[in-house]
Structure 1
Amino acid sequence: MSVRTTARNGISRTATTTATGLRATAVAVLAAAALVSCSQGQTEGGLGADLSATASPSADQAENADSVEDAEPAADEATEEPTAPAEPAPELVRDAFATLQATLNDTCTPGAGDCAYFLGRVTRELTELDEAMRADQKGPGHFKQPLADMKVLFGKLGEDRSTPHLEKHFSEIVSTRDGINTWMQDHPDDYR
């Protein structure tokens, strides 16, 4: 009886090993099929391409050689782009104004230690809006009032962007921001 049990266990283990091997093979075949279908989507013909064309890549070697020769000049032309870095496009007035508007409900108390971020941010947003208005296709003449207000503010601030200096000019910074907001609300075509 022990011989039968041993024989059955051996057959059972062999069947289990074979089944596991078949499952692993099936998974590998499915993975390979998925890779093939994904790579066909990246060819010229896309997913609807003729599968016979991708099945035998050496069918038209002469035609492929001609297309490679045609592609070489195109590749050379693509690498002849100017090497100078392109300057970033100025921020649109609409986008710059939106970030300034996001500060409208914010404030701080000068001298209380909570103004560093707020005043730095409002000053930065005003600077970016100034740059966007000067670069806008409508021209700086269209934004005459806000640009004049920012010029006065930046003249008072100078280059010093330290917190104590910005706190000293707190009312000018906030009133310039609010004045520009009012002007922009009267010119909705500039920010919508």
Structure 2
Amino acid sequence: MFKSSARGAAVVAVALAALSVSCEESPATGAGERTPASASPSVAGEDFTVSSPPSAPSTPSAEKVRDAFAGLQATLGDSCTPGNCAYFLGRVYDELHGVDRAMKADPKGPGHFPEPIALVKKLDAELGGDRSFANLKKHQTSLIATRDKINTWMQGHPEDYR
């Protein structure tokens, strides 16, 4: 019995050592936080896989607007249905703000995207900083209208997302 317990303890120690050695500091986290790096040690027939979160690009680029707009367009075929409404409205909100951030960080400058940025600013004023489902549901019409107006604006400016 002692050999079995010792072997089990050794397996756990090896697994923990492998995981702790594979930790590295991530630029996406703070200086004091640590995230595990990709590692796949095999211990006693067990496979352990730990992967780190994708890191954000360090420099703004034109692709950010294209990618953010693609995320917003992905919400066009969805709707607020029972069981999905909170997710849907939250996603539309997040995608709108992703487009807003990307446009403000674009090398062309925020002045290149005046209408979409103004639409998000107007929506934010209506929401009053409250991103709760109840508030998003209350302002669902404005939220969806903002999405649709930005989609229409972007369709008229294909050079900004193709």
Same fold (TM over 0.5): yes
* Equivalent in the alignment of 2:51: none
Distance 1:87 1:106, change over 3 A: closer
Partner amino acid for 1:95?
D
% identity of equivalent residues: 61
Instruction: State how far apart, in whole Å, the 2-side matches of 1:104 and 1:113 are.
Output: 18
| Match 2:64 to one of 92, 96, 100 | 92
RMSD (Å), alpha carbons? 2.1
1:9-50 Cα shifts (integer Å, max 9, x gaps): xxxxxxxxxxxxxxxxxxxxxxxxxxxxxxxxxxxxxxxxxx
- Counterpart in the other structure of 1:23: none
Instruction: Please point out which of 135, 138, 148 is paired with 1:165.
Output: 135
* C-alpha distance after superposition, 1:100-136 (max 9, x if no partner): 0000111115xx5531100000000011110000010
Question: Which stretches in structure 1 are left out of the alignment for 5+ residues?
Answer: 1-83
Size of the aligned set, in residue pairs, is 107
Task: Specify which structure has the higher proportion of strand.
Answer: 2
C-alpha deviation, 1:87, in angstroms: 7.9
Which TM-score applies when normalising by structure 1? 0.52
Gaps of 5+ in 2: 1-29, 32-55
Q: Distance in 1 between matches of 2:129 and 2:149?
A: 22
* TM-score, normalised via structure 2 length: 0.61
Divergent runs of 4+, >2 A: 84-91
Q: Who wins on radius of gyration, i.e. which is larger? A: 1
Where does residue 144 of structure 2 map in the other structure? 174
Q: Describe how 1:92-171 pairs up with structure 2 within 5 A.
A: 92-109=64-81, 112=82, 114-171=84-141
